[in-house]
Amino acid sequence: MQTKKIINDGNRTVDEMLEGILAAHPRHLTSAEGSPRSIIARDGPRDGKVGLVIGGGSGHEPTFLGFVGKGLADAAAIGNVFASPPPDPILECAKAASGGAGVLFMYGNYAGDVMNFDMAAEMAAMDDIEVRTVLTTDDVASAPRDQRHKRRGVAGNFFIFKAAGAACDRMLSFDECERIARKANDHTFTMGVALSPCSLPQTRRPNFEIGPDEMEIGMGIHGEPGIARGKLKTADEITDEMLDKIVDEMAPARGDKVAVLVNSLGSTPLMELYIMNRRVKRRLGDIGVSVHATWVGNYCTSLEMAGASVTLMHLDDELQTMLDHPCDCAMFRAG
């Protein structure tokens, strides 16, 4: 049986979505001339500023294009659903974002994205645009601790892009922007849980099977299987299970500060996210960690998947300053 979706044509979903987004946010967003899959901030790129280009597959909205705007990313390259964009739209983003001070490519660590963005970086070099790449690897569940470089980038992207975008907006040097981007990634940890599958618009079939009373801890944002499947537990038990892993890796001292993101994978409602956040706050309080800022909602989704993720960013003064730095994007504002 096919899943229900409000679409016209499964092959046209990305382009029709982009048309709707540009119609909704004309003050923030435009597309590059002749490259509709390159979404550019109207007020972002400028001379002397390091450009920030993000991107990846569609289906994770508001990631990636919702974070394009002044103070955050200058451009986002948009792929098909769950598929990396090809090099051409990435290259057009790099050209639009370039202010002569270098361009950072930041995206989740997936084999397809790495190949396409690397090809685009080689093409940009031929146009005399220097590109450096910082991959996001915040998904604690996706590889062991000693193989952090193999981990996926998931909802923690939001914090990592935010910190890097602020560094760029403050006109820091290319080296500094890159350093802060890497540090932001190193300080960010995410764990997710999935309750029910999503379905691609082209197939409208659930992309994995899961029992009516089951959950899967650590499932990826494309429905990649996670690390453990079990009976559905309570919100507090699920939150504890995820927090335990995150805190164990982050190893915060009493008195440390974090930023919290409780994110829906698509169809899990705010009510459930806030129930989880209540537990996050309480558990962090128990270990003497204070919460500097909290975001709750749809930040990195997986189409209509049910489930949620918890992300903590371990703050120091520098990262806190970057998170507090104002930004004005189509789907996110701060400061």
Partner 1 sequence: MTSIDTAGLKTMFDAIAVAIEADKDRLCQLDGVIGDADHGIAMALGFGAVRDALALLDLAATEPTALLNTAAKSFLNAVGASSGPLYATAFMRGAAAVKGKTTLAGADFIALFQAMAQGIQDRGKAEIGEKTMVDAWLPAAQAAAAAHASGKTLSESLAAALQAAERGAEATKEMIAAKGRSSRLGERSLGHMDPGAASAVTVIGAMRKSLG
The footprint of partner 1 (CB under 8 A) covers 11, 57, 79-88, 110-112, 115-116, 119, 142-143, 150, 152, 200, 202-203, 205, 207-208, 220, 222-225
C-beta of 98 vs 116, nearer to partner 1: 116
C-beta of 77 vs 319, nearer to partner 1: 77
- Residue from 65, 269, 242 nearest 138 by CA: 242
Q: How far apart are alpha carbons 313 and 159 in whole angstroms? A: 7
- Residue from 284, 282, 289, 151 nearest 221 by CA: 151
C-beta of 63 vs 84, nearer to partner 1: 84
Count of helices and strands (H, E) across the chain: 8, 15
E strand intervals along 222-326? 228-231, 257-264, 290-297, 306-315
Assigned token pair, 164 = 């890097």
Catalytic annotation present for 314? no
C-beta of 17 vs 163, nearer to partner 1: 17
Amino acid occupying residue 43 = D
Q: How far apart are alpha carbons 120 and 231 in whole angstroms? A: 44
Contact (Cβ atoms closer than 8 angstroms) between residue 22 and residue 29: yes
CB 91 → partner 1: shortest distance, Å? 11
Q: Cα separations (Å) of 42 from 25, 29, 45, 46?
A: 10, 5, 8, 10
Dihedral sign, CA of 202, 205, 206, 207? negative
Marked catalytic residue, from 28, 187, 222, 325: 222
C-beta of 8 vs 202, nearer to partner 1: 202
CB 34 → partner 1: shortest distance, Å? 13
CB 197 → partner 1: shortest distance, Å? 9
Q: How far apart are alpha carbons 102 and 11 in whole angstroms? A: 35
Assigned token pair, 241 = 């299970």
CB 73 → partner 1: shortest distance, Å? 18
Marked catalytic residue, from 25, 28, 60, 314: 60
Catalytic annotation present for 292? no
- Residue from 136, 69, 111 nearest 300 by CA: 136
CB 65 → partner 1: shortest distance, Å? 15
CB 115 → partner 1: shortest distance, Å? 4
C-beta of 142 vs 277, nearer to partner 1: 142
> Catalytic site residues?
60, 222
